[in-house]
Amino acid sequence: MKTMEHKLHILLCEDEESLGMLVREYLEAKGYEADLFLDGEAGYRAFMKRKYDMCLLDVMMPKMDGFALAKEIRLVNTEVPIIFLTAKNLKEDILEGFKLGADDYLTKPFSMDELVYRMEAILRRVKSKEQKNLTRFQLGNYIFDTQRQVLILGEEQTKLTTKESELLTMLCVHVNDVLERDLALKTIWMDDNYFNARSMDVYITKLRKLLKGDPNIEINNVHGRGYRLIVPNMVQE
């Protein structure tokens, strides 16, 4: 999900400073960039100044509580994922959070691993939704139609399997950048185990053969990380 070139930015609003710092440090160790604010007003000012990929909001905060902050965020951005962090486990509060457009809800105390797991699950859904909005890619001499799962070279059309199409779409979305191996495995195969990893290698080999009609297109291995689709001057529609 994260690359060294493009760290995901997390807005973290938590009035319990020691917990906030703990969460921030853990997220940064996992490759995220997290900005910590101790009240809702400071969090709102920060949100209006920069682009965040996700918001983690404590419900009970001074100056502006998490629900009020989420309401303000949703007025200007209906898409950014929001996870509420709260000491309460009341059904009414949980329902209120989801009514405001929350994507998830974690009750304190929670494990850091569970927090990151839930964040990654939401971010995968967001990335998948973004990919579905892209329908055609111009890959050098090829046209890749993601809706029809067809690769077109001149008069020749090649029908792709669902996994071939999904993998090529992810490579196109990350064109000329690294597609992280773990992200592709968890998104397409739902698990990054050894057997799925070998399966993905087979699909990469198939895609290389399918794209050999344009010598300028390459799919390179990036050791220890994943793959990079090299396409000069790619166009997406």
For the stretch 41-61, pLDDT in tens is 999 999 998 889 999 998 888
Entry pTM: 0.55
Domain residues of the chain, as ranges? 9-130, 135-236
Measured over the CA atoms of residue 35, residue 38, residue 42 and residue 44, the dihedral's sign is positive
Q: Model confidence at 134, in pLDDT bands (50, 70, 90)?
A: low
Q: Model confidence at 177, in pLDDT bands (50, 70, 90)?
A: confident
Class of domain 9-130: alpha beta
Q: Model confidence at 102, in pLDDT bands (50, 70, 90)?
A: confident
Q: Packing angle between helix 162-173 and helix 194-210, nearest 10 degrees? A: 80
Q: Which residue has the tokens 């490579």?
A: 171
Choose between 56 and 146: higher pLDDT: 56
Alpha-carbon distance of 24 to 34, in angstroms, equals: 6
Query: Which of the listed CATH numbers 1.10.10.10, 1.10.274.10, 3.40.50.300, 1.20.1250.20 matches domain 135-236?
Result: 1.10.10.10
**Is 135-236 the same fold as 9-130?**
no
Contacts of 64 (CB under 8 A, 6+ apart): 39, 40, 41, 43, 44, 72
In the predicted structure, residue 3 carries a pLDDT above the cut 70: no
CB–CB of 146/169 below 8 Å?
yes
In the predicted structure, residue 163 carries a pLDDT above the cut 70: yes
How far is residue 109 from each of residues 21, 81, 136, 231, measured CA to CA in Å? 15, 21, 45, 47
For the stretch 66-76, pLDDT in tens is 889 999 998 88
Q: What percent of the chain has pLDDT over 70?
A: 90
For the stretch 204-227, pLDDT in tens is 999 999 999 999 999 999 998 999
In the predicted structure, residue 4 carries a pLDDT above the cut 50: no
